[in-house]
Amino acid sequence: MLKAIASALVAGVALVATSLAAQAGPQLDKVKQRGELICGVSQGSAGLSLPDSSGKWSGLDVNYCRALAAAVLGDPDKVQFVPLSSAQRFAVLEAGDIDVLARNTTVTSTRDGTLPVLFVGTIFYDGQGFMVPASLGVKSAKELDGATVCVQPGTVNEQNLVDYFQANNMKFQSVVIENLPELEAAFYAGRCDVYLSDASTLSASRAARAGNPDDFVILPERVTKSPLAPVVRSDDIQWYKIADWVRNVLVEAEELGVTQANVEEQKKSQNPSVQRLLGVQEGIGKAFGLDDEWAARVIAAVGNYGEIYDRNLGPDTPLKLERGLNALWTNGGLMYSPPIQ
């Protein structure tokens, strides 16, 4: 009797799983029918999303979009990149004009609680800081009383600027410019004393636009925690899960030692975790409406998380950012993937 009940339960679970796997979500179908992923990115932030002189985009956020395209379309180049200002980004996503927003966007309780969007797992741990001309001789943000500060509207930076100066009993004058290239041009032209943004954005700007990067200093204080994550609409849970697990696959691949160069060789691995990741064992595809090779395609297209980081942000790039909090959890960082099983 117990065996019969157990068999029925197993059969029922299998039936439900098969049924769920067979139901492709509307967003996945839409992207497949279009044959192209539309990804919202920044208007230009080196290391995260930046076009070169020929219009080819690169950066951590760009690589995430290419990974998502490789997963669902089989081709990392089938991506249209749409540059968006901080004020535009959520409205464009909510309107359905993009499939995913990967635009150095900070997860906050207000955004998560009030907007019809879902944040994918953190792809970069950042924090807001201050950059000033070295000629000012300033060593700490607490020496900025009376400064003029360049800041974008519609960002958490703007509120954090107010909070920081108020908490430290200092005054400031803001220069509010929505367009990022125009804001940076204003700062480097001397229209303001301070540029406030995420440390990664400041590093990218200094490396790409400062003329002489040594003429500008990023002060040591970090005003906030800024976990940056891709964002999707909340009307399609399957699409959210695909977007989330693309991020997880990149991190898990690094932990398991699977790289862009060895992914094919690793298919011969006897490690069950590697076998599931790469689709050697029947694994993680069907539940997401994908085939079991999708994770292997992702890694072959862009590499694992560590490779992406080193290529775009690491010590050998103009940004020269150490891994820090973005190291794997096994190396003292915060990067972590739930188990793939």
96: left (phi over 0), alpha (psi -120 to 50) or beta: left
Is 20 part of any domain? no
Residue 89: CB partners within 8 Å, gap ≥ 6? 40, 101, 103, 105
Q: Taking 60 as the threshold, does the pLDDT of residue 71 lie above it?
A: yes
pLDDT tens, residue by residue, 94-147:
999 999 999 989 999 999 999 999 999 999 999 888 999 999 999 999 999 999
At residue 283 the predicted structure's pLDDT band, cuts being 50, 70 and 90, is low
Is 321 in the same domain as 232?
yes
Last residue of a domain, one of 224, 255, 288: 224
Q: Taking 70 as the threshold, does the pLDDT of residue 7 lie above it?
A: no
Q: Which domain holds residue 315?
A: 25-125+228-325
Q: Which strand (E) or helix (H) includes residue 256?
A: helix 237-256
Q: How many residues does the chain have?
A: 341
Is 219 in the same domain as 151?
yes
Is 113 in the same domain as 253?
yes
Is 205 part of any domain? yes
Is 212 part of any domain? yes
8 A C-beta contact, residue 197 and residue 187 = no
Total of domains in the chain:
2
Whichever domain contains 269, its CATH number is: 3.40.190.10
pLDDT for position 13: 39
pLDDT for position 24: 55
pTM of the model: 0.80
Q: Taking 80 as the threshold, does the pLDDT of residue 249 lie above it?
A: yes
Query: Which residue, chain included where needed, has tokens 């207000």?
Result: 110
Is 219 in the same domain as 147?
yes
Of 217, 212, 214, the C-alpha closest to 193 is 217
pLDDT for position 1: 43
Is 233 in the same domain as 116?
yes
Is 295 part of any domain? yes
